[in-house]
Amino acid sequence: MEYKFTKENFQEEVLNAKEPVLVDMFATWCGPCKMMGPVIEEIAADYEGKVKVGKLDIDQDPELTAQYKIMSVPTFLLFKDGQVADKIIGGVPKETLTEAIEKLL
């Protein structure tokens, strides 16, 4: 299952999560973001119950975008225990994301 993260639910869903969280910082106008969509859906299915996976629209939440210093999209933030454990920028192969996730499990 894929979550939709917003400034309203970020504290609860991401920072307070018991499991690691993958946040896809994206924009609706971003080509590489669209390309990564199916990859993120696959990862959400592969890690269901182990990792929370979701998207955050940078245009709808400029405060969080600024707070995490997101300069380009897509940017993938991996959170563990409320902290950013890893940051991956750009359209990357699925393996790049799964390797980063595996380190947190």
Is position 30 annotated as part of the catalytic site? yes
Which one from 7, 17, 30, 37 is the annotated catalytic residue? Answer: 30
Comparing CA positions, the residue from 92, 87, 89 lying closest to residue 21 is: 87
Comparing CA positions, the residue from 22, 29, 20 lying closest to residue 2 is: 22
Which one from 22, 33, 36, 73 is the annotated catalytic residue? Answer: 33
Is position 72 annotated as part of the catalytic site? no
Which of the residues are catalytic?
Answer: 30, 33
